[in-house]
Structure 1
Amino acid sequence: MELNRGKQAIASGGGSRSIANHVFHMINRETQTPPSPFEVYYKLHYNAKKGWLNY
C-alpha cells in the first residue's frame, strides 16, 4: 500500500473521511455557515510540521 500511496500526484491529510464529511464537521455551530473552499483545502493539505503536502 505504501508503494501505491507514493504514486499519487497530490497528497492529502484528510484520512478516511470524505471531503463532504470534513465540511460538515467544520460548519460554524453558532452561525450555521459552511467553511470557505480555502479553509477546507488548507485543512486537508497543510500540516504545521511538514508544511504544504502538495508537491
Structure 2
Amino acid sequence: MGDAVPQPEINTAYFKYSEQEFIGNIANEFDGGLILFLSVMLMFYFYSRSFKSE
C-alpha cells in the first residue's frame, strides 16, 4: 500500500472491513453480471449457428 510505518490494529480492521465489502460487491456484481454474461453467450451462440447453417 505504501512505505508508511505499519500499524497492525488499523490495517487489520481495514482489511476485515474491506474484505466484507469486497465479497459483498462480488456477490452483487455476480448476480447481475452472470445474467448478462449468459445472455451475451447465448446471443453469440445463436449468431454463430445462423452463419453455419447457411
Range into which the TM-score falls when normalised by the shorter chain: under 0.3
The structure whose RCO (Cα within 8 Å, separation 6+) is larger is 1
